[in-house]
Amino acid sequence: MPRSARPVAEIETALLREFLAVGDGCVSGAHLAQVVGLSRVAVWGHLHRLEAEGFAFEPVHSRGYRLTAHPAAPSVALIRALLPAGAPPLVYLDSVDSTNDEAGRQLATGRPAPFVVLAAGQTLGRGRFGRVWHSPAAGNLYLSFAFRPELPPERVSLFTLWMGLNLCELLAAETGAAPQLKWPNDLHFGPRKVAGMLTEARIDADQTRELVFGLGLNVATPDSAWPHDLAARATTLAREAGRTLDLNAVAAKVVACVFASAERFFARLPDTEIAKLWRRHDLLAGKTISVRQGSETHNGTARGIDGDGSLLLRTAAGRTLHLRAGEVTLRTS
């Protein structure tokens, strides 16, 4: 493609990368023009467009421009610029029914995977058991990662747990607090949920053909954006960190973390690491719980997971159940 026919977002990502590379420093107009293969006037046009999105560029006499502010709202150009070069494509939407559905639709059109769909808000966000995932466009991230993995179907549950554990590590580094994974798909800080994961797979002839890993992460939702009952049970990363967080920076870190973790999982590297991370982040360890599976409920003590990611539940009768799925409730006794 001739350089001038490059999509606007790609040009603006390339420009922002130059600014990010120098931090508080200056970048000359001539350098920017050379990087994107456009005239300085055209570059200035792109900087103006970015200013309308919330970026600010300060001209520095005879030296060029300095980036002095960036938007708080999601900016696809900025997220891409913050990602490592060569990261898989990112599709950004202000609003969508469900990012998992959008990723599935894009896979169905034959779009090459991996890629990620990120939305600022969802109108039909879904959780496990077909529940509604409340998805206001208010400081949260809604992400779905699409893969065409070579993965035996029995490893899909472990994939979700591995993602959750790696995300716990990332969220611990971001907040300085101690996130935990509540088997099988919730990320918590203490009793409050900060994120939910929803993995959906298309399995065919005993192979996982397509895998969509959905993640809803509360970054900085104001309490007023949640229904009353959720406000008491949910938390945000900003609240746990005790400071304002940059939504775009968090988005880029989450995207990089998920792609890197998925790559390691598909290469079959992490089995021993799963056990190690599980001990660090297991919210249920040793707790008295109930696990509902359809019309059945099992009671007992949580004893970690087995090699397939099934929950080990020690019953009062001394049996150890391996539960592949279910809904966990913590009991007080």
CB nearer ligand BTN, residue 19 or residue 142: 142
Cβ proximity of 90 and 83 under 8 Å: yes
Q: How near is the Cβ of 83 to ligand BTN at its closest, in Å? A: 19
Rounded Cα distance, 203 and 182, in Å = 26
Tell me the one-letter amino acid at 302.
Answer: A
Catalog residues that contact ligand BTN under the rule CB under 6 A: 98-100, 122, 125-128, 131, 133, 142-144, 185-186, 196-198, 214-216
Q: How near is the Cβ of 96 to ligand BTN at its closest, in Å? A: 9
Rounded Cα distance, 141 and 122, in Å = 10
Tell me the one-letter amino acid at 90.
Answer: L
End-to-end Cα distance, the chain? 66
CB nearer ligand BTN, residue 63 or residue 324: 324
Q: How near is the Cβ of 41 to ligand BTN at its closest, in Å? A: 41
Q: How near is the Cβ of 306 to ligand BTN at its closest, in Å? A: 22
Measured N-to-C along each axis, helices 40-53 and 29-36 cross at an angle, to the nearest 10 degrees, of 90
Q: How near is the Cβ of 27 to ligand BTN at its closest, in Å? A: 35
CB nearer ligand BTN, residue 19 or residue 92: 92
Q: Which residue number is nearest to ligand BTN in terms of Cβ? A: 196
CB nearer ligand BTN, residue 65 or residue 142: 142
Cβ proximity of 18 and 32 under 8 Å: yes
Rounded Cα distance, 14 and 48, in Å = 15
Q: How near is the Cβ of 121 to ligand BTN at its closest, in Å? A: 10
Rounded Cα distance, 112 and 110, in Å = 6
CB nearer ligand BTN, residue 51 or residue 327: 327
DSSP state of 318: S
CB nearer ligand BTN, residue 70 or residue 126: 126
CB nearer ligand BTN, residue 64 or residue 88: 88
Q: Are strands 288-293 and 207-218 parallel, antiparallel or unpaired?
A: unpaired
CB nearer ligand BTN, residue 65 or residue 162: 162
For the chain, strand residue ranges (E) read 56-60, 64-69, 90-96, 115-122, 140-147, 180-182, 186-189, 192-204, 207-218, 288-293, 296-305, 311-314, 320-323, 327-330
Q: Is 147 helix (H, G, I), strand (E, B) or coil?
A: strand
Q: How near is the Cβ of 319 to ligand BTN at its closest, in Å? A: 28
Q: How near is the Cβ of 100 to ligand BTN at its closest, in Å? A: 4
User: Is the torsion defined by CA of 246, 249, 255, 259 positive or negative?
Assistant: negative
Cβ proximity of 164 and 197 under 8 Å: yes
